[in-house]
C-alpha cells in the first residue's frame, strides 16, 4: 500500500485487443474499475481475468458524460486519487511513485504528459498535458462528448504537475467517430454558452466537409462573450481559413490566417498553415516570412491546441523551398538539412533529392 489509495477507472466497449496492455499499465494502482457498455467480444472476460472489477450497463441514450459518471460511481468512497484513462491508453512504468510524490493532502487534480498519437515512424505526434487525475470526491463529468471534469466541491482547485509521468494513446483506427457530430450538436443545444463545445462543433463540421456550417459555427464561437482564450480563438480562425481553402477562396483563407496570427502570435500553427498556402500560391517571400516567424517560436505549448505538423519537418521544408526559389542557396541548404533531420520516412527521399539539387546550384 502506498501513501494514497489510487484507483484507475474507465469505460469500455469491444476493447479486447487493448486489455492486456491496459491492465499491465494499471497494475500499479490499488484497484481498477471498468464500466462495460455492451461489449460483444472478450473484453469483460479478459478484464476480469487480469483483476479488474467490471460492471456491465447499457447507456441509453448514449452520452460519454453519463458513462463516465457511472464508471466513477463504481469507485469506492475510500479511494484518494482517481485516474481516468481509456483502454487504448497506458501509463509508462513507475507512474504511481511519481504521482504520489507530487500529490499533497490538499491536491484536487493532477496533470501529466500525454502523447495523443504517433507518426508512422514511431515518433511522437500530438503532445499535451491533460488533467484527468482527480480526487475521489467533488467532481463530475459534463458534456455528451468531449466530456470534461467539472469540480463540484465549491473551492478553488489545487492542481499539481506530475513530472515524468507519461500516458500514451494508441487508438484503434477502425473505430468510427460518426457519433461525435450529433453528440456535439446536443452539447451545444444543452449548453449554448459553453464556448468549448461550440468550438468543437465547428471543428467537427469541418472534419465532415460541411464547410459552410463550420464557418458559421466557428464565427459564432468567436462572437461568444465566453470565448476569451486566445489559443482556442486562434484555432477557430485557422479552421475557418481551412474551410475557405477547401472552397477555393484563397484570399479569404489568407485573411483568416492573418487574424489567427494576430490573435495568438505565440503559436506556430497559423504561421505554418499560411506558409503552406503561400507555397501553393507560389508566394515565396510570403512563405519565408511565415516560416521564419514560426521557427522563431522555440517553445512548444503544453495545451491541446498545438499540432504536430508545426513542430516537425514542415516549416523547415517549406522555408528551404522558398529560399531556393529566391536564390538563397546557403539558407535553402541549411533549412533542408534541418528538415531532413525531422522528416518522416515518406518525406525523407524527396528532401534528400532537394539537398542534392541545392548543393548542385551552390556549386555552379
pLDDT of residue 176 exceeding 80, the answer is no
SS3 13: coil
pLDDT of residue 322: 98
pLDDT of residue 9: 98
Q: Are 316 and 336 in contact (CB under 8 A)?
A: yes
pLDDT of residue 204: 97
* Model confidence pLDDT, tens digit, residues 87-117: 999 999 999 999 999 999 999 999 999 999 9
Residue 303: which of 111, 121, 168 has the closest Cα? 111
pLDDT of residue 39 exceeding 70, the answer is yes
Segment 274-295 mean pLDDT: 98
Which domains are present in the chain? Answer: 6-169 (3.90.550.10), 312-364 (no CATH)
Which is more confidently placed, 119 or 4? 4
pLDDT of residue 1 exceeding 60, the answer is no
Q: pTM, whole model, 2 decimals?
A: 0.92
pLDDT of residue 116: 95
Residue at grid coordinates 483502454? 87
Per-position DSSP letters for 170-189, written without gaps between them: ---TTS--TTHHHHHHHHHH
pLDDT of residue 297: 98
Segment 299-322 mean pLDDT: 95
CA dist 40 and 52 (Å) reads 18
* Model confidence pLDDT, tens digit, residues 203-215: 999 999 999 999 9
pLDDT of residue 2 exceeding 90, the answer is no
Phi and psi, residue 51, nearest 5°? 105, 0
Amino acid at each position: 500500500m502506498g501513501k494514497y489509495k489510487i484507483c484507475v477507472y474507465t469505460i469500455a466497449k469491444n476493447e479486447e485487443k487493448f486489455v492486456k496492455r491496459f491492465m499491465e499499465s494499471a497494475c500499479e494502482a490499488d484497484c481498477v474499475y471498468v464500466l462495460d457498455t455492451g461489449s460483444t467480444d472478450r473484453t469483460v472476460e479478459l478484464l476480469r481475468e487480469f483483476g479488474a472489477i467490471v460492471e456491465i450497463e447499457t447507456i441509453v441514450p448514449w452520452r460519454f458524460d453519463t458513462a463516465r459518471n457511472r464508471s466513477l460511481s463504481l469507485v469506492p468512497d475510500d479511494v484518494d486519487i482517481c485516474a481516468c484513462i481509456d483502454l487504448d491508453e497506458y501509463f509508462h512504468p513507475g507512474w504511481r511513485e511519481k504521482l504520489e510524490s507530487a500529490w499533497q493532502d490538499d491536491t484536487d487534480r493532477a496533470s501529466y504528459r500525454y502523447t495523443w498519437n504517433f507518426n508512422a515512424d514511431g515518433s511522437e505526434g500530438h503532445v499535451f498535458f491533460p488533467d484527468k487525475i482527480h480526487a475521489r470526491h467533488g467532481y463530475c463529468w459534463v458534456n455528451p462528448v468531449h466530456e470534461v471534469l467539472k469540480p463540484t466541491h465549491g473551492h478553488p482547485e489545487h492542481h499539481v504537475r506530475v513530472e515524468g509521468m507519461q500516458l500514451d494513446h494508441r487508438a484503434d483506427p477502425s473505430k468510427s467517430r460518426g457519433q461525435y457530430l450529433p453528440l456535439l450538436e446536443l452539447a451545444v443545444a444543452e449548453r449554448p454558452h459553453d464556448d468549448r463545445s461550440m468550438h468543437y462543433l465547428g471543428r467537427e463540421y469541418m472534419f465532415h466537409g460541411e464547410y459552410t456550417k463550420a464557418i458559421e459555427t466557428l464565427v459564432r464561437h468567436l462572437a461568444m462573450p465566453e470565448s476569451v482564450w486566445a489559443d482556442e480563438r486562434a484555432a477557430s480562425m485557422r479552421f475557418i481559413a481551412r474551410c475557405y481553402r477547401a472552397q477555393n477562396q484563397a484570399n479569404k483563407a489568407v485573411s483568416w490566417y492573418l487574424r489567427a496570427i494576430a490573435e495568438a502570435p505565440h503559436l506556430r500553427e497559423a504561421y505554418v498553415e499560411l506558409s503552406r498556402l503561400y507555397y501553393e500560391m507560389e508566394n515565396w517571400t510570403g512563405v519565408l516570412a511565415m516560416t521564419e516567424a514560426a521557427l522563431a517560436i522555440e517553445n512548444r505549448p503544453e495545451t491541446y491546441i498545438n499540432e504536430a505538423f508545426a513542430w516537425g519537418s514542415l516549416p523547415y521544408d517549406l522555408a528551404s523551398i522558398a529560399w531556393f526559389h529566391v536564390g538563397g542557396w546557403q539558407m535553402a541548404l541549411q533549412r533542408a538539412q534541418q528538415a531532413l533531420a525531422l522528416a518522416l520516412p515518406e518525406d525523407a527521399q524527396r528532401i534528400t533529392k532537394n539537398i542534392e539539387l541545392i548543393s548542385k546550384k551552390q556549386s555552379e
